[in-house]
Amino acid sequence: MATEHSKSSARIMIAPAVFVLLVWMLVPLCMTLYFSFADYRPLRATFDAWIGFDNYVSFLTSSSFLSSVVTTLQMVAGILVITIGGGVMLALLLDQPMFGQGIVRILVIGPFFVMPTVSALVWKNMFFNVDNGLFSYLFKFFGAQPYDFLSQAPLLSIIVIVAWQWLPFATLILLTAVQSLSSEQIEAAEMDGASPLSRFWHIILPHLSRAITVVILIQTIFLLSIFAEIFVTTNGAFGTRTLTYLVYQRVLESQNIGLGSAGGIIAVILANIVAIFLMRIVGKNLDN
């Protein structure tokens, strides 16, 4: 029952939010786009406003680009496998009858609220450190050689750190989905003599599929721009340089703004491919 009057005041109420987001999105992005076609290296006082697609060509054909894409994919895939697999199992576990369910939930969710720099440094020093880390003691306790995680398996180490941070997120969302599963359906299947495994495969997993998709998409968007965890652990060395990190290095460390901006635009395009899928799901849900 919206009147013309309320419609125009609605427009005025929405305007500030749309305006700031429009400026936020367009101004810096246009600048990046502009720089991506320029040869701009402030440290050498080089500025040539138009060199065509040279930056894109040299960024895309450099070996560091290809390896950074591979690293990014490995990192994101590794984290997704751990968090989704662990999250489904944890969600099903937390849904079981038990004592102190609320406290267990709190314990499981804790890591999500730890700031990235803290979790990265705690893992790096107190767990992974080859001399004094807990894992080294554990290895020695079982009579094995201490293992230098961050220099021997740096990518895996970062995957462990970030997966630890995101496991609670996946668990919490999947738990919400598990709890919305009607118990009648499960009971009916139980009476029909379905085994736990086939119940999981034919009833629970299909029910969770939408929640899993949402978790995958949201996490992918956040994981594509992992930064702090790499920054404080390996600083991009030993094959942990993701696309985000490569662009950061080109822009701020080597100050090759043109090349870095071309990389930035490529990162934006790649992220948008994932985003489109997420938006479709969210948009569909909005209609209900």
Pick the binder of other proteins from 158, 223, 247, 259 (CB under 8 A).
247
Under the binding rule (CB under 8 A), the answer on residue 248 touching other proteins is yes
Closer of 70 and 115 to other proteins (Cβ): 115
Nearest to 259 by CA among 271, 268, 248, 272: 248
Under the binding rule (CB under 8 A), the answer on residue 221 touching other proteins is yes
From the CB of 201, what's the least distance to other proteins, in Å?
20
Which listed range, 43-51, 77-85, 197-205, 248-256, lies at the site for other proteins (CB under 8 A)?
A: 248-256
User: What is d(CA 68, CA 263) in angstroms, rounded to the nearest whole number?
Assistant: 11
Size of the residue set binding other proteins (CB under 8 A): 106
Under the binding rule (CB under 8 A), the answer on residue 169 touching other proteins is yes
Q: Interface residues for other proteins in 91-150 (CB under 8 A)?
A: 93-94, 96-101, 103-119, 121-127, 132, 134, 137, 141
Closer of 63 and 96 to other proteins (Cβ): 96
Q: Which residues of 199-212 are buried (b: 16+ CB within 10 A; e: fewer)?
A: beeebbeebbeebb
The H-assigned helical ranges of the chain are: 4-36, 54-61, 63-94, 101-109, 116-122, 134-141, 149-152, 154-179, 183-191, 196-199, 205-223, 228-233, 243-248, 257-287
Under the binding rule (CB under 8 A), the answer on residue 277 touching other proteins is no
Pick the binder of other proteins from 156, 194, 203, 228 (CB under 8 A).
228
Closer of 152 and 176 to other proteins (Cβ): 176
Residue 35 identity:
F
164-205-176-79 Cα dihedral, nearest 10 degrees: 20
Under the binding rule (CB under 8 A), the answer on residue 56 touching other proteins is no
On whether the CB atoms of residues 135 and 222 are closer than 8 A, the answer is no
